Amino acid sequence: MSLSYVGTQLTIYVGSAILIAGILGNGINIFIFSSVRTYRNTPSTFYFLVGSIHNLLYLAINLTFRIVSVGSGFDLTRTSLAWCRARSFFLSTISVISFTCSCLATIDQFLATSQSAHLRRYSKIELAYRIVLVAMVVWYLQGIPWILYQNISPISNTCVRTDAIYAIYVSVYLLLVLCVIPVVVMIGFGFLTYRNIRLTIALAELRADRQLAKMTLIQVVLVIISIIPYGINNAYGLITTGMTKDANRILIESFVSTIVSLITYLYYMGSFYMFLISSSRFRHAKFVNDNYWKDAYDVYYMDKRLDGVRASSFELLKDGYFKDASDVYYMRNKIEGARASAFQLIDKGYSKDASDVYYMGKKINDARASSFQFIDNGYAEDYRNATCVNQQ
């Protein structure tokens, strides 16, 4: 069994597993980070959202094409000039935007956990919007040469770089921009974030999120595992470019490149699974409706935690009411004296427990729960036939 055959099988089967897991994981990331208001309004998770979108695109465009070309032997970049150039453009921009977002998330967590109030002011969602917009414009503009200087060689019938200076630029770009700079930035700011957390006695006083910091730091681990081998392999390729190599060495280097490429795809696939491991909030996030969601411990309305509400027994009712095992709430406010075990809705804002009646969260004095009933058009009555008028 040759190394070439093993490499082909690994690309098809391991690559397919990475592709499926990556599309699923990034899809869930996008859903969670775009649906939960708390995540959507936090700079770090906004960066994760944009990064997950580009990770999904990278896998869908690059890995799908790679699996199909290796498995079928049909390489569209050999026959279509448009696809030769478009693929180069997308791969040069999508990947770097993803790395940029990971770096920005790490920098943001350094700012958010800093003891300096001046630095913490820079961790703002409005600033994150502007930074991402500028970064995307810059990286898409730098992708233009990847369109202009790619062509199908009439000699080798492959998609090649047609300009010598551009070819050098691509080699440096792949090594520095897609490996060295992201690794250095994320390790550096990851360490600073960890130090901030260790130095800060009460992280909550800084309004920083410890679990979000863990999610960001675990991204650093993912980058170290998946990207450093890619950088080492690229550096080796640059160093040995002018060397004469026999067929056996070329075969071994090709096999190693296949393994390294598959490891690199773990970065684009793995963020969801790393978040799942590192954050109990992310792991137990459950959406109740568009406004309410909960994790293993807390319940959130819009972007705020509901103090005192137990996530384990939280039950959303209707007309603004919800309850847990012991208390009843109306529009985020606790209804004093209401008994959750006997609480039930009536209609049109009316509710009751074993003894009292409530309208829009307020107790109706002298109304008796046992005989109270809603009639219609805002009217209700109790055992004394006293008419209660809807207070709208």
Among candidates 214, 205, 210, which has minimal Cα distance to 117? Answer: 205
Backbone angles phi, psi at 165, to 5 degrees: -65, -40
Euclidean distance between CA atoms 267 and 206, whole angstroms: 31
Euclidean distance between CA atoms 245 and 239, whole angstroms: 13
Give Cα 300 to chain centroid, integer Å: 19
Domains of the chain plus CATH, in order, are 3-287 (1.20.1070.10), 306-389 (no CATH)
Digit-coded pLDDT (tens) for 171-228: 888 889 988 999 999 999 988 988 887 776 444 444 445 667 777 888 888 888 888 8
Element (H, E) at 376: strand 373-376
What's the chain's Rg over C-alpha atoms? 29
Two structure tokens written together for 366: 């002298």
Euclidean distance between CA atoms 334 and 307, whole angstroms: 10
Q: Which amino acid is at 167?
A: A
Among candidates 62, 120, 87, which has minimal Cα distance to 269? Answer: 62
Backbone angles phi, psi at 4, to 5 degrees: -60, -45
Euclidean distance between CA atoms 51 and 177, whole angstroms: 16
Residue 112 contacts residue 150 (beta carbons within 8 Å): no
> pTM (2 decimals)?
0.72
Q: Is 317 helix (H, G, I), strand (E, B) or coil?
A: coil
Q: Which amino acid is at 1?
A: M
Two structure tokens written together for 371: 């005989």
Q: Select the more confidently predicted residue: 256 or 308.
A: 256
Confidence of residue 280 (pLDDT cuts 50, 70, 90): low
Give the length of the chain. Answer: 392
Confidence of residue 263 (pLDDT cuts 50, 70, 90): very high
Give Cα 127 to chain centroid, integer Å: 18
In the predicted model, is pLDDT for residue 134 greater than 90?
Answer: yes
**What pLDDT score was predicted for residue 156?**
82
Digit-coded pLDDT (tens) for 58-113: 999 999 999 998 888 888 888 889 989 998 998 889 999 999 999 999 999 899 88
Q: Select the more confidently predicted residue: 82 or 320.
A: 82
SS3 of the chain: helix, strand, coil, percent, to 5: 60, 10, 25
Confidence of residue 349 (pLDDT cuts 50, 70, 90): confident
